[in-house]
Chains A and B, each alone.
Chain A
Amino acid sequence: MINKEAKLDSNLFSNTAFKATRDGFGDGVVEAAKINKDVVLLCCDLTESTRSLAFKQAFPDRFIEVGVAEQDMAGIAAGLAFSGKIPFITSYAVFSPGRNWDQIRVSICYSEANVKIIGAHAGISVGPDGATHQALEDVSITRVLPNLTVVVPCDYYDAKKAAIEAAKFKGPFYMRFAREKTPIVTTQETPFKIGRAELFRHGKDVVIIANGPLVYQSLLAAEELEKEDINAVVINCHTVKPLDKETLLKYAQETGAVVTAEEHQINGALGGAIAELLVENYPVPMKRVGVRDRFGESGQPDELMKKFNIVKEDVIKAVKDVMAMKKSKK
């Protein structure tokens, strides 16, 4: 049963609206800039596709074009942050944090520079551009960096709120966004707090911990599982680091079975983080839905999501597997 307090979109399953998380960022960062004059935005020759154009038009004096130089962008942002600015650095996630990881590590995270790293076009849903442009490792490589908060918004509103909250949040921050239009799950009223996992659906048999577009797929999966008398909890775990340990462990304990779902490699990101949490605190049967240690390829986003096993059906299968594990354990 959907958690009413989450104030999800009432048309979620019938007349679903679509909008890209990158548009949520683009709208959110303009809001953030209106609230705080120190917000500046840096871009590496990808103004339109990272949805930084509206910011550039609204605040031309606070927009900095760096050219195709992601390492330089990270360093410049650190210098701006040391001078009191709140820089958002935007590029594709494969380039930033992909190419400039060392600069993010030393100049930003180690130095606690108040920089917001925006990884656009993340995930396999970038589609036709192929594997080089499909960031499937960015959450893993950022999650291991001390001082860095890592957020994966589930839809347009989640992304918009994340951008606004990021500007208020003090410290290094990474957010990933997708190019493709994805279902709008939440509303303007849905609670969003950095570091807090949100309960989207009540249940008792299994908890599905998801982020990004897999939150919607998980809600769909839960609806179908209901018909088979399996009641699944669904949690939007947008903040991969720091994890909301209390909430996550609570539902792991209540249900005794966990599935994670994300548009990312299964190693080291949300699935890895939850596995670490459970093993150290409350081991229960667990399955991970994600890309299984391989590179993507060209194709249409929906074709790729299916081929790489990160859709509703894969969540359902994982739930059934984990339920069987739970049963055999008893």
Chain B
Amino acid sequence: MLNKIHDIEKLYEISNTIRQDIIIMLLEAGSGHSAGPLGMADVFTALYFNVINHAPENPNWPERDRVVLSNGHICPVMYATLARAGYFPVEELKTLRKLGTRLHGHPHNLALPGLENSSGPLGQGLSIACGMAYAAKMDNKNHHIFCLMSDGEHEEGQIWEAAMFAGKNKLHNLTGIVDRNNIQIDGFTEDIMPLEPLKEKYESFGWHVLEVDGHNIRHIIDACNEAKAIFEKPTLIVAHTIPGKDVSFMEFKYEWHGKPPNKEEAQKALEELRKLRTLGGKIISEHQ
């Protein structure tokens, strides 16, 4: 089992490294999504380096916690996280979207160790996670199921079917995490199709709902631990994130939902990210 990291500063270093990986991968690939993966780097770091029980050297370990990625288009952040956790060589990240790769444009469970499901077409992950949680309950297994979803994909009806099922069956071993970054391809979610009040919607479906700053790793970890402790209901964590987080010209811009940086943009993004490296709580340049 992978050792858990409790040093928050160390976790921020990892999420910063993952963000740099994402930029490098997208530049290499020449296509893909930028904003979502950058926005979710802190959540992925918290999950894979502190919250979940998993064993990268034994990806199919039966007792592992499961992470189901429903909005498959943010897979660059998942790939970078899995590589940094030791599932496969970091160097392989540069094969993203290229012929012969295991890192497909949208994730394929059979292609790469560490992936629990295939996704891309939105709205399918929560049902899969429900099935896993139901099976674990049937078999009296103690592992936990996390399902990562986007906010925009909540326009798909299937998510609400699954939310009803989870509420009905009191799937306490299931935790949904919504990347609440307020953007989707065509614009802001509340303009395209209003989702609010999201918390109340889930609560009315029988879920326990928590809201966190999706960039505060301490709070993300605390929320996940609370979710595991809730024993009567499934839990939804609304992670408020900034799309394009830590790259100034991408932050909050829906235009960066579905495109990669070009060479100059990538260089600028990497410079900004490298400047944010923290050591001992102080933000310093890595090259200082």
> Given A71-B127, A106-B124, A107-B117, are A80 and B135 also a contact pair (CB < 8 Å)?
yes
Is the CB–CB distance between B131 and A78 below 8 Å?
yes
Q: Provide the bound-state CA to CA distance between A62 and B137, in Å.
A: 12
CB of B128 within 8 A of chain A?
Answer: yes
List which B159-184 residues lie within 8 A (CB) of chain A: 161-162, 164-165
Chain A residue nearest in CB terms to B106: A106
Residues of B within 8 A of A79 (CB): 68, 117, 127-135
CB of B120 within 8 A of chain A?
Answer: yes
Residues of A within 8 A of B124 (CB): 71, 75, 102-103, 106-107
Interface size class of A (residues with CB under 8 A): 20 to 34
Q: Provide the bound-state CA to CA distance between A235 and B281, in Å.
A: 76
Question: Nearest Cβ distance between residue A147 and chain B, in whole angstroms?
Answer: 10
Question: Nearest Cβ distance between residue B123 and chain A, in whole angstroms?
Answer: 8
Q: Provide the bound-state CA to CA distance between A303 and B132, in Å.
A: 46
Question: Nearest Cβ distance between residue B75 and chain A, in whole angstroms?
Answer: 14
Binary CB contact string for chain A from 64 to 87 against chain B (1 if under 8 A, 0 otherwise): 101101011111111111111101
Question: Nearest Cβ distance between residue B266 and chain A, in whole angstroms?
Answer: 31
CB of A112 within 8 A of chain B?
Answer: yes
Is the CB–CB distance between B136 and A83 below 8 Å?
yes
Question: Nearest Cβ distance between residue A59 and chain B, in whole angstroms?
Answer: 11
CB of A110 within 8 A of chain B?
Answer: yes
Output the residue of B124, B136, B162, B164 with the most chain A CB within 10 A.
Answer: B124
> Given A71-B161, A112-B110, are A82 and B116 also a contact pair (CB < 8 Å)?
yes
CB of A229 within 8 A of chain B?
Answer: no
Residues of B within 8 A of A40 (CB): 138
CB of B158 within 8 A of chain A?
Answer: yes
Chain B residue nearest in CB terms to A74: B127
Q: Which of A73, A83, A103, A106 contacts B135 (CB 8 A)?
A: A83
Chain A residue nearest in CB terms to B174: A79
Chain B residue nearest in CB terms to A61: B138
Q: Which of B116, B120, B131 contacts A76 (CB 8 A)?
A: B131
Question: Nearest Cβ distance between residue A90 and chain B, in whole angstroms?
Answer: 15
Chain A residue nearest in CB terms to B136: A83
CB of B109 within 8 A of chain A?
Answer: yes
Chain A residue nearest in CB terms to B127: A75
Question: Nearest Cβ distance between residue B116 and chain A, in whole angstroms?
Answer: 7
Residues of B within 8 A of A77 (CB): 131
Binary CB contact string for chain B from 89 to 124 against chain A (1 if under 8 A, 0 otherwise): 000000000000000000011100000111111011
Residues of B within 8 A of A62 (CB): 138
CB of A16 within 8 A of chain B?
Answer: no
CB of B86 within 8 A of chain A?
Answer: no
Binary CB contact string for chain A from 89 to 121 against chain B (1 if under 8 A, 0 otherwise): 000000000000011001100111000000000
Q: Which of A71, A76, A107 contacts B118 (CB 8 A)?
A: A107
Q: Provide the bound-state CA to CA distance between A83 and B143, in Å.
A: 12
CB of B187 within 8 A of chain A?
Answer: no
Chain B residue nearest in CB terms to A112: B110
Binary CB contact string for chain A from 123 to 141 against chain B (1 if under 8 A, 0 otherwise): 0000000000000000000
Q: Provide the bound-state CA to CA distance between A107 and B106, in Å.
A: 13
Is the CB–CB distance between B136 and A72 below 8 Å?
no
CB of B30 within 8 A of chain A?
Answer: no
Chain B contact residue count (CB 8 A cutoff): 32
Residues of A within 8 A of B165 (CB): 66-67, 69, 72, 76
Q: Provide the bound-state CA to CA distance between A87 and B135, in Å.
A: 11
Q: Provide the bound-state CA to CA distance between A252 and B124, in Å.
A: 44
Residues of A within 8 A of B194 (CB): none
Is the CB–CB distance between A111 and B109 below 8 Å?
yes
Is the CB–CB distance between A69 and B164 below 8 Å?
yes
Q: Provide the bound-state CA to CA distance between A15 and B172, in Å.
A: 57
Q: Provide the bound-state CA to CA distance between A103 and B162, in Å.
A: 13
Q: Which of A64, A75, A102 contacts B128 (CB 8 A)?
A: A75
Q: Provide the bound-state CA to CA distance between A280 and B132, in Å.
A: 43
Is the CB–CB distance between A76 and B136 below 8 Å?
no
Residues of A within 8 A of B109 (CB): 82, 111
Q: Provide the bound-state CA to CA distance between A113 and B285, in Å.
A: 47
Question: Nearest Cβ distance between residue B17 and chain A, in whole angstroms?
Answer: 30
Q: Provide the bound-state CA to CA distance between A83 and B129, in Å.
A: 10
Residues of A within 8 A of B133 (CB): 79
Is the CB–CB distance between A106 and B121 below 8 Å?
yes
Residues of A within 8 A of B130 (CB): 72, 75-76, 79
> Given A72-B161, A75-B127, A75-B158, are A82 and B118 also a contact pair (CB < 8 Å)?
no
Question: Nearest Cβ distance between residue A212 and chain B, in whole angstroms?
Answer: 30
List which B36-91 residues lie within 8 A (CB) of chain A: 68
Question: Nearest Cβ distance between residue B154 and chain A, in whole angstroms?
Answer: 14
List which A32-82 residues lie within 8 A (CB) of chain B: 40, 61-62, 64, 66-67, 69, 71-82
> Given A61-B138, A111-B110, are A71 and B131 also a contact pair (CB < 8 Å)?
no
Residues of B within 8 A of A66 (CB): 161, 165
Is the CB–CB distance between A75 and B131 below 8 Å?
yes
List 6 tightest A-B contacts by C-beta distance, closest first: A79-B131, A75-B127, A83-B135, A72-B161, A69-B161, A76-B131
B interface with A by C-beta (< 8 Å): 68, 108-110, 116-121, 123-136, 138-139, 157-158, 161-162, 164-165
Provide a sorted-by-A list of 27 A–B residue pairs whose CB atoms are within 8 angstroms. Answer: A64-B134, A67-B161, A67-B164, A69-B161, A72-B130, A72-B158, A74-B127, A75-B130, A75-B131, A76-B128, A76-B130, A76-B134, A76-B162, A77-B131, A78-B117, A79-B130, A82-B131, A83-B131, A84-B135, A87-B131, A102-B121, A103-B124, A103-B158, A106-B120, A107-B124, A110-B108, A110-B118
**Apart from the given pairs A69-B161, A69-B164, A79-B117, 4 other A-B contacts in the complex at a CB distance below 8 Å:** A67-B161, A72-B158, A72-B162, A106-B118
